[in-house]
Amino acid sequence: MLSFLLLLFLLPSSSNALDFCVGELTLPETPAGYPCKPPAKLTVDDFIFTGFEKAGNTSNIISAAVSPAFTAQFPGVNGLGISAARLDLAPNGVIPLHTHPAASELLVVTQGAILAGFISSANDVYYKTLKKGDLMVFPQGLLHFQINARGINSVAIVSFSSPSPGLQITTLALFAGSLPSPIIEKVTFLDDAQVKKLKAVLGGTG
Amino acid sequence: MLSFLLLLFLLPSSSNALDFCVGELTLPETPAGYPCKPPAKLTVDDFIFTGFEKAGNTSNIISAAVSPAFTAQFPGVNGLGISAARLDLAPNGVIPLHTHPAASELLVVTQGAILAGFISSANDVYYKTLKKGDLMVFPQGLLHFQINARGINSVAIVSFSSPSPGLQITTLALFAGSLPSPIIEKVTFLDDAQVKKLKAVLGGTG
Amino acid sequence: MLSFLLLLFLLPSSSNALDFCVGELTLPETPAGYPCKPPAKLTVDDFIFTGFEKAGNTSNIISAAVSPAFTAQFPGVNGLGISAARLDLAPNGVIPLHTHPAASELLVVTQGAILAGFISSANDVYYKTLKKGDLMVFPQGLLHFQINARGINSVAIVSFSSPSPGLQITTLALFAGSLPSPIIEKVTFLDDAQVKKLKAVLGGTG
Amino acid sequence: MLSFLLLLFLLPSSSNALDFCVGELTLPETPAGYPCKPPAKLTVDDFIFTGFEKAGNTSNIISAAVSPAFTAQFPGVNGLGISAARLDLAPNGVIPLHTHPAASELLVVTQGAILAGFISSANDVYYKTLKKGDLMVFPQGLLHFQINARGINSVAIVSFSSPSPGLQITTLALFAGSLPSPIIEKVTFLDDAQVKKLKAVLGGTG
Amino acid sequence: MLSFLLLLFLLPSSSNALDFCVGELTLPETPAGYPCKPPAKLTVDDFIFTGFEKAGNTSNIISAAVSPAFTAQFPGVNGLGISAARLDLAPNGVIPLHTHPAASELLVVTQGAILAGFISSANDVYYKTLKKGDLMVFPQGLLHFQINARGINSVAIVSFSSPSPGLQITTLALFAGSLPSPIIEKVTFLDDAQVKKLKAVLGGTG
Amino acid sequence: MLSFLLLLFLLPSSSNALDFCVGELTLPETPAGYPCKPPAKLTVDDFIFTGFEKAGNTSNIISAAVSPAFTAQFPGVNGLGISAARLDLAPNGVIPLHTHPAASELLVVTQGAILAGFISSANDVYYKTLKKGDLMVFPQGLLHFQINARGINSVAIVSFSSPSPGLQITTLALFAGSLPSPIIEKVTFLDDAQVKKLKAVLGGTG
């Protein structure tokens, strides 16, 4: 009875608070994220993501894998200003030069060693070999990269200041799409032969 | 005719501006609030809330009442970064220890006297008896409380820096829900007898 | 001893958290507000403002008074996204047409009755007589006003979604400053005689 | 094949990133803007607006025109924090006193000369004649105006810090709507004759 | 020479961009964080934190340790919207019930198993045992906890959506500070004996 | 006298409002921008920038020039969420591939014709030849470029959703700085000869 009165007068409606907004991915996204799933339908599993339990498949050209837990994979982070990914770098592995248009990144090495760096707007380069337990922050929107530094399998947990940080890999942006080669050459100063070679490898057209 | 031309050339579409966004509560909420009701359907009453005209019912265990005008009760504040509530504290009344996860709070005593306080992350306590006309600000997310200070009916108007500030009452969070008693004891250091006593009173399970 | 260990390992530095940022008004302001006073120097009185205890002086041309508790008067709200003011409207009192460039406003009538309204970008007008206990929200940046509605002393508590909401009174902006009359007439379509009459009353030049 | 592997492991889902959110204007707006059109349906034309290619029609009472490229006309800016408009000022042209409730404005004169100014909350006036190539910034929510300064057709490109800046023209807000004349006179100190004269010209009622 | 011209015309000043703002902790903090160290004085080590390389000391009453990399310890995250901490939970270890007033939290278990949970404003409880590789998100400002779940040393990397998330441990807030016992009892419904027992253990006064 | 009373009671302090915050560039920047110059020292010229009156010098390797009006050149935009630049593209001119880490960009062609485009995170390319009067929006943080399209001098006014948008030119980031060639090759897949050729031209080291 006490609890009844307390709830009646102190919490007239449980919808007072937008504590969280688990994304309903089937509805159209908005600039602030996806509409919320009804709170009544949520369980603890909406707030849990189990994709980091094993290594990503690094049997590819970069000997590396990125396993994201962004809104698209983990709707529980929708609207909460944070997300994460697991990075796997086999020996010789590399996460190619890229940016996250919408987030800063914080990397923690959990296994092995990683050479990581970023480049500022002033073209200054900040890079260093990180060992297990080291953190490095990559400011929003700046070019950065990670390379296996010791020839052993290396792993990092990275987190982002947005549930949808975006990921633009410079080499794929240039050579895996349909931007005509003359334009690429004009805006990058790269040689025609170089552009065509990488387009052939990466499937680019135009 | 003049007005026609003015409107034609200066205001090609009245939908240029998102002056306000009265919440359409029947549509799914987003991280930024509810979708907007069509402006053409709005009247002045969409911007007015009349729930503060009389005292809340304080015939309950806390001898107090909170009457919120959050988005759920007052859709006119949707998207506008502000909301309010009326607090009623009968003699011996108390608004138990609580936080607003999404807003800072500003309290104005309009009748009687209230002992109010908050606790910082450094465990420092700031509390004082406020009399009619006094304001106190409670920073976002910090534990705070209000207690009737003079044995007479006391009233406060509180406003929040969010249309959906949230309200988490510590004692209800612990003892009115289903968190198992051993977990509660583990994470609070409270005694088993204390936990079970309050669960019995407040309707908690587990 | 226990507490010592707890504090040592769980709270390595009390400066971890920016719970609040009471404004140090003697230092230069930034776009996000004033720099913070050192937490060690704060007392509960930094979070309390006592200026609403009595009526503002309404012995003036508008028979009204605004008593603000913005950052400048109440540095405790600095950085917290909220502030407040007390409005006093004697019989015939009026808060002239104005905007708050940086905040939405939420008004609560605590005594008497007030005719309040605002005008949207589409030139739609929303106004109504509010009685004691009624709330009205005025969306950010829109023209609005308050008028004593019953011929008795009326009071309202207003809160804002910013610690520095700003206040631009249209008539003072036009006629109490130094904008030359021909420019005023050009940009408002007001008659020269009207402009000069109000400049004379309100002390404007140019 | 390489590219296949790269895409498979580095970009598990193209929906990871909310690079942009072209507005779907047929869906209800939210406080953060319109829901997004599906990325698969977008073409380059969704990011292009062609409305600034010719002068607006200045054959009207103000000898001026505003051609907006806000979200309503240019859905590509939805959610991106920016928009623009073209201003045309024929000889004697004027953009009357107005505010943008939701944005700061940056003006660039591209032809002719423009006398532009704004008024601060302290009733200080900042105005000057701008010639071709000059920029002026008008802080959010403050009253400002633009007047043809040289008697030749003048043009400016203005940009805004919001995709939906809003536009409230003071004279239209007062005299083109339905706010009763006695209220207008009370809140502005304008004479009854002046109010009724402008209401007659601008089509106001009440 | 080419580069000279490029830099001269494309980058007239390296101070155009605020790529990052490494905190100068000796200057007064602002609501948006600390003032920036001069870019010319920065090295890669300003963006690296090495505090997670070894386990925190869990020889304490909670058999647990939190090693933060917030702005106070890692000035490189100042202004970047992200920070992190390492959690160590020895057998029987617990991170007591707490909130982060200014951030959502994302936890990744990197060793062992952890029982983690949070409580919503509606007093709903979401908890589960997380094993190595599992993630859980804790929405901003809500009460949550972590407990060693398997009796073996367990470790988690947690990240936050703010460089200064704050940390308010409910039990310390109540019993390690100076809030008088009668007030604590009034606002929590706890028994006097319970309050005094925990104050004695945790060093509280009042 | 009237005005005196009005000012006394309605505007107790002109420092109530933070209408604007003209940057004091000699003080340390903060994450929200520079501290403000004292309002009393401001004149209209603090809000005006005259740098766009003539063409930038395009006698350089890219036959192009960017003339920014960011906070560093135009302190009046500090804190106001907007800035601008003038682009000059001589025949064969090109603004090389670049990003703005902190802002979306809106381009208006004011003379000539410009081939402009951007690349999304999904490696989709959006480009088109813009003629005089056309606008194009480039979403925050994405790679984009502008090329003279007609062989005649072309000009654009671009605006940004931040007073400090940043500017990272991909080719300069890679080849004008000190990132060692082996790392560049590893993270971009470019050939060693290509990297060394461009470093020689652009002055890069390492």
Q: Are F154 and D72 in contact (CB under 8 A)?
A: no
Indicate the residue of A8, A15, A33 with minimum beta-carbon distance to B31. Answer: A33
Contacts of residue F157, Cβ cutoff 8 Å, sequence gap at least 6: D108, D110, D157, F52, F84, F85, F86, F87, F107, F108, F110
- Ranges under pLDDT 50 in chain C: 1-5, 7-9, 11-16
Contacts of D47 in chain F (CB under 8 A): 118, 126, 136-138
Residue B156: closest CA among B117, B109, B104, B105? B109
pLDDT on residue E8 = 42
Buried b (16+ CB within 10 A) or exposed e, D28-61: ebbbbbbbbbebeebebebbbbebbeeebebebb
pLDDT on residue F51 = 84
Q: Are residues A112 and A198 in the same domain?
A: no
Q: If 0-12 CB within 10 Å is exposed, 13-18 middle and 19+ buried, where does residue B205 land?
A: exposed
For residues D40 and C95, what is the distance between their CA atoms, to the nearest angstrom?
52
Q: Which residue of F has its CA nearest to A177?
A: F123
Q: Do E17 and F56 touch (CB under 8 A)?
A: no
User: Hey, what are C75's tokens?
Assistant: 């540095």
Q: Are residues A101 and A192 in the same domain?
A: no
Domain extent, residue E148, equals: 62-166
For residues C157 and C114, what is the distance between their CA atoms, to the nearest angstrom?
12
Q: Are residues F182 and F155 in the same domain?
A: no
Q: Do E176 and B123 touch (CB under 8 A)?
A: yes
pLDDT confidence band for F17 (50 / 70 / 90): low
Cβ-based interface (< 8 Å): residues of A facing B: 2-13, 15-19, 21, 24, 27, 30-36, 38, 78-79
Contacts of F93 in chain A (CB under 8 A): none
Residue B148: closest CA among B112, B98, B119? B112
Q: Mean pLDDT for chain D?
A: 93
Q: Are residues C95 and C112 in the same domain?
A: yes
Q: Are residues D121 and D162 in the same domain?
A: yes
Q: Do D94 and C147 touch (CB under 8 A)?
A: no
User: Hey, what are C42's tokens?
Assistant: 């704060």
Q: Are B33 and D28 in contact (CB under 8 A)?
A: no
Q: Which residue of B has its CA nearest to C122?
A: B14
Q: How far is CA D151 from CA B42, C183, D96, D109, D112, in A?
A: 43, 15, 17, 15, 8
Interface test with chain C among B137, B162, B187, B189, by most C beta carbons within 10 Å = B137
Q: For chains A and D, count residue pairs whose Cβ atoms are closer than 8 Å.
A: 98
Residue D111 lies in a domain: yes
Residue D106 lies in a domain: yes
Task: Give the tens place of pLDDT for each residue, B7-25.
Answer: 444 544 444 457 999 999 9
Q: Do B82 and C161 touch (CB under 8 A)?
A: yes
User: Hey, what are F36's tokens?
Assistant: 């403000």
Task: Give the tens place of pLDDT for each residue, E87-112.
Answer: 999 999 999 999 999 999 999 999 99
Radius of gyration of chain B (CA): 21
pLDDT on residue A144 = 98
pLDDT for residue F68 is more than 80: yes
Contacts of E6 in chain F (CB under 8 A): 60-62, 172, 176, 202
E-strand spans in chain B?
48-49, 64-69, 83-89, 94-99, 105-111, 113-119, 125-131, 135-138, 144-148, 154-160, 168-169
Q: How far is CA D111 from CA D66, E15, E84, in A?
A: 15, 31, 53
User: Hey, what are A182's tokens?
Assistant: 């003359």
Residue F176 lies in a domain: yes
Q: Are residues E125 and E139 in the same domain?
A: yes
Interface test with chain D among F159, F162, F187, F189, by most D beta carbons within 10 Å = F159
pLDDT for residue E65 is more than 70: yes
Q: How far is D74 from chain B (nearest CA, A)?
A: 10
For residues C35 and D100, what is the distance between their CA atoms, to the nearest angstrom?
29
Contacts of residue A26, Cβ cutoff 8 Å, sequence gap at least 6: none
Residue D24 lies in a domain: no
Task: Give the tens place of pLDDT for each residue, F102-116.
Answer: 999 999 999 999 999
Q: How far is CA C93 from CA C87, C89, C90, C174, in A?
A: 10, 5, 5, 21
Task: Give the tens place of pLDDT for each residue, B154-199.
Answer: 999 999 999 999 999 999 999 999 999 999 999 999 999 999 999 9
pLDDT for residue F13 is more than 70: no
Q: Do B19 and D166 touch (CB under 8 A)?
A: yes
Average pLDDT over residues E133-146: 98
pLDDT on residue C175 = 98
Any idea of the CA torsion for F79, F81, F82, F83, to the nearest 10 degrees?
Answer: 50
Average pLDDT over residues A85-112: 98
Interface test with chain A among E161, E162, E188, E189, by most A beta carbons within 10 Å = E161
Task: Give the tens place of pLDDT for each residue, B48-82.
Answer: 999 898 999 999 999 999 999 999 999 999 999 99
Residue A1 or B70, more confident: B70
pLDDT for residue A14 is more than 60: no
For residue B111, count other CB atoms closer than 10 A to its CB. 16
Residue B89 or F13, more confident: B89
| Lookup result for tokens 């605004």 | C66
Strand order in the sheet with D105-111: D64-69, D83-89, D154-160, D105-111, D135-138, F48-49
Q: For chains C and D, count residue pairs whose Cβ atoms are closer than 8 Å.
A: 139
Indicate the residue of D5, D30, D32 with minimum beta-carbon distance to A61. Answer: D5
Indicate the residue of A44, A77, A161 with minimum beta-carbon distance to E80. Answer: A161
Q: Are residues C160 and C182 in the same domain?
A: no
Task: Give the tens place of pLDDT for each residue, D28-65.
Answer: 999 999 999 999 999 999 999 998 989 999 999 999 99
For residues F118 and A99, what is the distance between their CA atoms, to the nearest angstrom?
14
Q: Number of folded domains in chain E?
A: 2
**Residue list for the binding site of C for Mn(2+):** 98, 100, 105, 144
Q: For chains D and F, count residue pairs whose Cβ atoms are closer than 8 Å.
A: 175
CATH classification of the domain holding F105: 2.60.120.10
pLDDT on residue D186 = 98
Percentage of chain A beyond pLDDT 70 is: 92
Q: How far is B197 from chain A (nearest CA, A)?
A: 13
Q: Are residues F67 and F136 in the same domain?
A: yes
Q: Are C129 and C115 in contact (CB under 8 A)?
A: yes
Contacts of D108 in chain F (CB under 8 A): 52, 84, 157
Chain F contact partners (≥3 CB pairs within 8 A): A, C, D, E
The end-to-end CA distance of chain C, in Å, is 73
Residue F12 lies in a domain: no
pTM (two decimals): 0.95
Element (H, E) at A36: none
Q: Are residues C126 and C67 in the same domain?
A: yes
Which DSSP letter does residue A156 get? E
Contacts of E48 in chain A (CB under 8 A): 128, 130, 134-136
pLDDT on residue E17 = 55
Contacts of F3 in chain C (CB under 8 A): 176, 201-203
For residues D152 and E190, what is the distance between their CA atoms, to the nearest angstrom?
79
Residue A103 lies in a domain: yes
Residue B68 lies in a domain: yes
Element (H, E) at D114: strand D113-119
A173 phi/psi in degrees, rounded to 5: -55, -40
For residue C58, the one-letter residue type is T
Q: Are residues A66 and A161 in the same domain?
A: yes
pLDDT confidence band for A17 (50 / 70 / 90): low
User: Hey, what are A82's tokens?
Assistant: 């944070």
Task: Give the tens place of pLDDT for each residue, A40-56.
Answer: 999 999 999 998 989 99
User: Hey, what are F94's tokens?
Assistant: 């090109």
pLDDT confidence band for E51 (50 / 70 / 90): confident
Q: How far is A184 from chain E (nearest CA, A)?
A: 19
pLDDT on residue A120 = 97
- Count of alpha carbons within 13 Å of B46, Cβ hemisphere only? 21
pLDDT confidence band for D98 (50 / 70 / 90): very high
Indicate the residue of F32, F164, F176 with minimum beta-carbon distance to E16. Answer: F164
Q: Are residues C129 and C159 in the same domain?
A: yes
pLDDT on residue F44 = 98
Q: Mean pLDDT for chain E?
A: 93
Q: Are D144 and D138 in contact (CB under 8 A)?
A: yes
Residue A15 lies in a domain: no
For residue E94, the one-letter residue type is V
Mind spelling out the 3-state secondary structure of C37-81?
A: CCHHHCCHHHHEECCCCCCCCCCCCCCEEEEEECCCCCHHHCCCC
pLDDT on residue A51 = 84
Residue D144: closest CA among D120, D163, D161? D120
For residue F54, count other CB atoms closer than 10 A to its CB. 12
pLDDT for residue E147 is more than 70: yes
Contacts of D36 in chain A (CB under 8 A): 28-31
Q: Which residue of D has its CA nearest to C192?
A: D194
pLDDT on residue C18 = 77
For residues F141 and F145, what is the distance between their CA atoms, to the nearest angstrom?
12
For residues B119 and F23, what is the distance between their CA atoms, to the nearest angstrom?
36
Q: Are residues F146 and F179 in the same domain?
A: no
pLDDT on residue E177 = 96
- 3-state SS assignment for residue A174: helix
